[in-house]
């Protein structure tokens, strides 16, 4: 079956929705294709915090010295100078406009008096959507697409980009239940298909150190075949080996254990022998590999009420608490004897570690691993313990784009008719994506790509 549009957008996550809505707003006839039965991708399951320098919440918290330049520098540095500063600057300079578009045009609700402070940022700058997940964004995206009459076709998998004799991308070949469909695109195609963190073979191919031992935090559609599709159309894939793992995840499903964010308040990580083995606030990659070197390739995260009182992760993540407890990977105990029984860690060793941690409580006192914000006195219960493994989380590499979200060849030439935005692209985050930068990236470049493709159809 064949149909014709001005703009075809592939992938209904945050980047794809942004592109489709902007293209439609610019007057284009647009279709959004999604291979999974439901929309949302990784954007839906994300915490969805969005970094925006000079946002409207910052002054309320007394933060008046942030700037897009500073945000760009943090991003570049956080990615070990492997990102493209021209592209990064577009992201940080258009972040505020993108956030206002989400708030005022889409109706996304943000917390009004609170921001998130991720590692690697020199200012607290991440806006938090109500509910702290991508659900707030994706429901508003879907509602706007419905209102504007944008067809969103699920279970439709893009297989191949179609080029005309001059090399311009003019459409997409797709399949649904084995049947073939052709979507012609007069203006062009926007690739917004996300990353490949849920494709273990592909992850291992580009980064052999991230092997079978890793699970994934990602949505099941995050399998990256579309990157090969882009490559076949001439696009260059860059930074593909830079893959971010998240250290503290559920050993069964692979999802992030938000409840173990008590780590940021002093929870310790111990191995099956009951010993600490790493500074708990080290980089995600360092922690991930350290955990895999321990017996069984997992660790235990242990904290007490004194630590729990700081940000109350147990009280906040009640669904997780119940699920992990029921699953048998988490326990709540009045004393360490009970923790030792549950984890099967030798009691004497566990007690020795906890006594030592308590004796070194306070900033600057950790002689073993130099805990940067200081260990906490753990001599009194209650105690909480959870088993954790590292998972693949975000793939930084992907299609090389320029400041206009145009896909580029290895020679640096623009591929006419092809734009790319979001996790499928590979030049914003360098070696390492800072927390809160994914949403900024997908919305800023999704909008740019959608507008440009609509323009090209005129
Ligand atoms: P981003 O954050 O960059 O928007 P997401 O992971 O949120 O990325 O969204 C990407 C979406 O693209 C997912 O919903 C995924 O299922 C979809 N997708 C991936 N490959 C294809 C494909 N070949 N055809 C159609 N949709 C795809």
For residue range 394-451, list pLDDT tens digits in order: 999 999 999 999 999 999 999 999 999 999 999 999 999 998 999 999 999 999 999 9
423 lines ligand 1 (CB under 6 A): yes
Q: Pick the last residue of a domain from 373, 392, 411.
A: 392
Q: Helix count (H) and strand count (E) of the chain?
A: 14, 19
Tell me, yes or no, whether 227 lies in a domain: no
Tell me which of 138-142, 254-258, 290-294 is least confident. 254-258
Same-domain pairing of 254 and 183: no
Mean pLDDT of 271-275: 98
308-332 pLDDT, tens digit each: 998 788 998 899 999 999 999 999 9
Whether 327 and 180 map to the same domain: the answer is no
Residue 132 has a pLDDT of 81
Does a structural domain hold residue 360?
Answer: yes
Same domain, yes or no: 270 and 347:
yes
Per-residue confidence (pLDDT) for residue 131, from 0 to 100: 83
User: Residue 213 has what pLDDT?
Assistant: 87
**Domain's final residue, options 364, 392, 420:** 392
Q: Is the ipTM of this complex over 0.90?
A: yes
Q: Are 383 and 434 contained in the same domain?
A: no
Residue where a domain stops, chosen among 360, 392, 424: 392
Percent of the chain with pLDDT over 90: 92
pLDDT at site 296:
95
**Does the Cβ of 197 fall within 6 Å of ligand 1?**
no
Same-domain status, 384 and 400: no
Mean pLDDT of 73-84: 95
Q: What is the mean pLDDT of residues 21-31?
A: 98
From the candidates 263, 284, 400, 433, give the one annotated as an active-site residue: 284
The three-state secondary structure class of 176 is strand
**Paired tokens of 188:** 């062009």
Nearest alpha carbon to residue 424 among 276, 238, 251, 261: 238
CATH code of the domain covering residue 37: 3.50.50.60
- The stretch 22-39 carries a mean pLDDT of 98
Q: Is residue 255 domain-shared with residue 384, that is, in the same domain?
A: yes
- State the DSSP string of 286-328: HHHHHHHTSGGG-EEEEEEHHHHHHH-HHHH-HHHHHHHHHHT
**Pairwise CA distance, residues 181 & 295, whole Å:** 51
CA of 132 to the centre of ligand 1 (A): 21
Residue 303 resides in a domain: yes
- Kindly report the average pLDDT of the chain as a whole number: 96
When pLDDT is cut at 50, 70 and 90, the band that residue 9 belongs to is: very high
Tell me, yes or no, whether 57 lies in a domain: yes
| Residue 286 scores a pLDDT above 90 | no
Q: Do 409 and 387 belong to one domain?
A: no
299: CATH: 3.90.700.10
pLDDT of residue 133: 85
> What's residue 117's pLDDT?
82
Pair 366, 422 in one domain: no
404 & 264 share domain: no
Same domain, 10 and 94: yes
Both tokens of 147, joined, read: 């209102």
Place 238 in a pLDDT band, splitting at 50, 70 and 90. Answer: very high
Check residue 66 and give its pLDDT: 98
Residues 115 and 82 placed together within one structural domain of the fold:
yes
Inter-axis angle of helices 85-100 and 437-456, nearest 10: 90
Residue nearest to atom 2 of ligand 1 (CA): 43
* pLDDT of 27: 98
pLDDT at position 140 is 98
- The whole-number average pLDDT for the span 284-292 is 90
* Number of domains observed in the structure of the chain: 2
- Does a structural domain hold residue 169? yes
Q: What is the token pair recorded at 255? A: 């999802």
Query: Is the Cβ atom of 10 under 6 angstroms away from ligand 1?
Result: yes
Length of the chain: 458
In a domain, 217, yes or no: no
Tell me: do 422 and 360 sit in the same domain: no
Residue 224 Cβ inside 6 Å of ligand 1? The answer reads: no
Expressed in angstroms and rounded, the spacing between residue 365 Cα and the centre of ligand 1 is: 46
- Within a domain: 103: yes
Give 364 Cα–ligand 1 centroid separation in angstroms.
45
pLDDT in tens, 122-171: 899 999 999 888 999 999 999 999 999 999 999 999 999 999 999 999 99
Could you give the angle at the alpha carbon of 414 between the alpha carbons of 70 and 166, nearest 5°?
Answer: 165
Give the three-class secondary structure for 379.
coil
The angle subtended at Cα 198 by Cα 193 and Cα 204, nearest 5°, is: 110
**Average pLDDT value for residue range 88-93:** 98
Judge if the beta carbon of residue 36 lies within 6 A of ligand 1.
Answer: yes
183 within some domain? yes
Q: Give the β-pairing of 2-10 and 30-33.
A: parallel
**The ligand 1 atom nearest the CA atom of 425:** 3
Structural domain span for residue 163 = 2-196+396-456
Query: Is 186 part of the annotated catalytic residue set?
Result: no
Can you tell me which residue has the tokens 């006195």? 377
Say yes or no to pLDDT of 285 above 90: no
Give mean pLDDT, residues 288-294.
94
pLDDT at 218 > cutoff 90: yes
Mean per-residue pLDDT for 244-273? 94
């Amino acid at each position: 079956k064949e149909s014709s549009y001005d703009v075809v957008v592939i992938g209904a996550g945050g980047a794809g929705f942004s592109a489709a809505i902007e293209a439609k707003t610019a007057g284009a006839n647009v279709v959004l294709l999604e291979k999974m039965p439901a929309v949302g991708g990784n954007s839906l399951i994300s915490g969805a915090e969005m970094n925006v320098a000079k946002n409207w919440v910052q002054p309320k918290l007394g933060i008046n010295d942030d700037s897009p330049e500073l945000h760009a520098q943090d991003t570049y540095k956080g990615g070990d100078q492997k990102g493209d500063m021209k592209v990064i600057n577009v992201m940080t300079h258009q972040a505020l406009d993108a956030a206002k578009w989400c708030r005022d045009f889409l109706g996304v609700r943000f917390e009004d008096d609170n921001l998130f402070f991720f590692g690697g940022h020199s200012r607290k700058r991440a806006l938090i959507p109500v509910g702290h997940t991508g659900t707030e964004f994706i429901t508003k995206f879907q509602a706007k697409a419905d209102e504007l009459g944008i067809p969103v076709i699920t279970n439709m998998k893009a297989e191949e980009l179609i080029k005309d004799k001059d090399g311009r991308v003019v459409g997409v070949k797709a399949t649904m239940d084995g049947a073939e469909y052709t979507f012609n695109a007069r203006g062009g195609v926007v690739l917004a298909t996300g990353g490949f963190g849920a494709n273990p073979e592909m992850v291992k191919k580009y980064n052999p150190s991230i092997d079978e031992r890793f699970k994934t935090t990602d949505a099941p559609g995050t399998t990256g075949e579309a990157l090969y599709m882009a490559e076949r159309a001439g696009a260059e894939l860059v930074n593909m080996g830079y893959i971010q793992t998240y250290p503290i995840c559920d050993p069964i499903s692979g999802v992030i254990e938000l409840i173990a964010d008590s780590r940021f308040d002093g929870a310790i990580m111990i191995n099956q022998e009951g010993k600490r083995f790493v500074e708990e606030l080290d980089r995600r990659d360092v922690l991930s590999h350290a955990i895999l070197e321990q017996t069984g390739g997992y660790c235990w995260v242990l904290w007490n009420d004194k630590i729990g009182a700081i940000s109350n992760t147990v009280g906040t993540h009640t669904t997780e608490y119940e699920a992990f407890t029921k699953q048998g990977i988490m326990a709540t105990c009045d004393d360490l004897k009970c923790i030792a029984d549950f984890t099967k860690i030798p009691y004497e060793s566990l007690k020795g570690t906890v006594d030592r941690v308590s004796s070194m409580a306070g900033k600057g006192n950790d002689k073993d691993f130099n805990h940067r914000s200081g260990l906490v006195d753990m001599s009194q219960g209650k105690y909480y313990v959870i088993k954790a493994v590292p998972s693949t989380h975000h793939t930084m590499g992907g299609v090389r784009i320029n400041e206009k979200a145009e896909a580029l060849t290895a020679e640096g030439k623009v591929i006419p008719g092809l734009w790319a935005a979001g996790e499928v692209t590979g030049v914003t985050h360098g070696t390492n994506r800072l927390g809160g930068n994914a949403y900024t990236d997908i919305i800023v470049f999704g909008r740019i790509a959608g507008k440009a493709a609509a323009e090209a159809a005129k």
